[in-house]
Every structure is written in C-alpha cells, then in structure tokens.
Structure 1
Amino acid sequence: MRNIFIDGYNVINSWPVLKKTKDYSFESARQHLIELLINYASFKEYRIFIVFDAQKVVGSIEKEEKVSDHVTIVFTKEGQTADAYIEKTVNNIGRRNEVFVVTSDRLEQQLVFQRGAVRMSSMEFYNEVKSIKKGISNKIQVNYSDEKHTLEDQIDKNILDKLEKIRRSH
C-alpha cells in the first residue's frame, strides 16, 4: 500500500480552494483538506498521513488521530516542524514501503528523496486529487443515471397492471 505524507499547512497555503478558506478560518481549511483526502485515500486505497506542525504551540505533545481507515492526522510536538516529523518517519520506514511526500518545500523534497521517498509538489498533488474527485463524481453520475427512477420502473409488471385497472375503473 502506498504511504503518502503530507505537510498539511504547506498544502493549505498552496491549494487555491484552501488558501481562500484559511483567510477566515484555519480550522475550516484543515477540515476541508481532511475531507478531500479521506475521499481520495478511500478511492485509491492509499494510506495518508496529514502532518500539521504545532512547533510554536507551547506545551504541545505529539498526537496522532486516525480519522478513517486510510487517513491519520498528526500534530507534532512543541518545537518540531512537520518537515522534521516527516523526515524522521520516512527515515524509519526506509525503502521497504512505497512512500510519497507532498510538500513544496524544496529542501524537504531533497531530503526525503535521499531517504527513498518519491516527492510530489503540493500543486502536483492538488491536480491529482482534483482529477480523482472529478472521476468519482463522474462515476457516481453514471451509476445514478443508470438506476431506475420512475415508479413504473420500480414496480412489478403485474402490480402495475392491477393499479392501471383500478385507475381506469374510477
């Protein structure tokens, strides 16, 4: 299974849809990102770690929260950046697993690449997530339009004939 580590605030500051939201609410931007990635991860069957740094939050301890079968949210401890957490974790995973790191931080991209991870910029990932979201919507639309929507399509022919007889007798 592919593991994807995402620098959460880097992505929020890069994706147009999230940039607008964060201007009035960082919490809403975080929540929107999480919802988008839960759908993406479920569809692709990837394991995603969204890392938000709490480096400037006094007394913050590292906290992980699994929000779905495929998505885990990580808040770093005080004094630790998302980059540092990702580097350490990718280094521990090593080259045993397929690992992607999403960040637009050039130095971070170099470091994780040296540790065997595939790097992807925030905007490249944005375009992939957008494409998958569109694919999911199209698939839902096709499935929905294939379903039966009229009463006649859903009722057994014999019952429909009886109802028609009753209707004509009145």
Structure 2
Amino acid sequence: MEELLVVDGYNMIGAWPKLAAMKKNELGRARDELLTMLSEFQAYSGYKIVVVFDAHQVPGMGKRIKEYKVDIFYTKENETADELIERLVKKEISRKRRITVATSDYTEQRMSFGYGALRKSARELLEDIEKSKKSIRQKVDKIKYEPLRSGIPLKGDIAELFEKWRRQ
C-alpha cells in the first residue's frame, strides 16, 4: 500500500527554527529548503509526499506542480491550505491509501484524523527527517570504510595493494 504524506508547507516553515529564521528575509529560499528536505526524506522513507502552500490571499486559480520529485499544490484564491488538505485527504482515503497529514494546526489534525488520516506534528516530522539523515550518514560511513570484496580471494599484501589503489 502506498503511503502518502501531506505536508502543510507554511506550517513547517513557521515551526522549524532554521526555516523560520530564513523566512523573515527570504521566504522563497525557505520554501526551496523545505522542498529539498522533503524530497530527500521521500527518497529515504518511501512516502509519496504532497506539499500544500497557502495562496488564499493571492489572486489566481491555484496550481499543482511537480518539483524536487514532490507534488506541490498552491491553493486558489479564497481557499486555505487546510481546505485543500481536507479535500486531498477525502479523495485519497477513498483510494485505500494510508495517509499522514503533517501539521501543527490542531484543528486541521482533528479534521484529518476524522477522515481517517494519521497525524504528525511539525516537530515529529523534523525529528523523522533528522533521524533519516543520521541513518544515511551512518550507512555511507560504513560502506566507505568496508574493504573491497571481490569474487577472487586475495591474500594479504595483494589485497592491501588493491585497497590502497581503490581509495586513491
């Protein structure tokens, strides 16, 4: 079963210290950083990630784009991110998908949970992302220092010589 993670974008930006500091001067950069982090997390976790950004105060029809290998929704005029998230959850629940909504908005958590989605706070999602980064670093370090394994058994000096060549 495909797992879907629906993220309230501006909620994460406002709740994560690094992004909250960044948004004061460079909201676009904070948005890009969030999308980069979520893209990397998607590759590691196996979630299909959908990010929703509020645009209810901006005239327009709303749009859906795919960047960073993540689906990104901007709400239409007079629509909040919460309304779009609720609509997405209703639609995806009917497809028998497991859905988690990431937001620290208590009302939105309750509404999503009422439709059958799981909930995750901004802090919990950030912790999950940090754990995944740490796990990736540990795996890379382990592989980096493992000796080369060939199909041919090599004895002492020759194995050391080949290992030295490989590391250069």
Matches within 5 A, 1:8-157: 8-58=9-59, 60-69=60-69, 71-94=70-93, 96-146=96-146, 153=163, 155=165
Distance in 2 (alpha carbons) for counterparts of 1:22 and 1:147: 45
Distance in 2 (alpha carbons) for counterparts of 1:54 and 1:74: 10
Distance in 1 (alpha carbons) for counterparts of 2:145 and 2:27: 37
Structure whose CA Rg is larger: 1
Instruction: Give RMSD over aligned pairs.
Output: 1.9
What is the deviation of 1:141? 2.0
**Structure 2 portions without partners, runs of 5+:** 149-159
Identical-residue share of aligned pairs (%) = 33
Q: Which amino acid aligns with 2:140?
A: I
Distance in 2 (alpha carbons) for counterparts of 1:85 and 1:30: 18
**Structure 1 portions without partners, runs of 5+:** 157-170
Tell me what 1:160 maps to: none
Q: Which amino acid aligns with 2:111?
A: L
TM-score by length of 2: 0.84
Number of residue pairs matched? 153
Q: Which amino acid aligns with 1:47?
A: K
What is the deviation of 1:109? 0.6
What is the deviation of 1:67? 2.1
Relative to structure 2, which stretch is displaced further, 113-122 or 14-23? Answer: 14-23
SS in 1 for 2:6: strand
What is the deviation of 1:4? 0.5
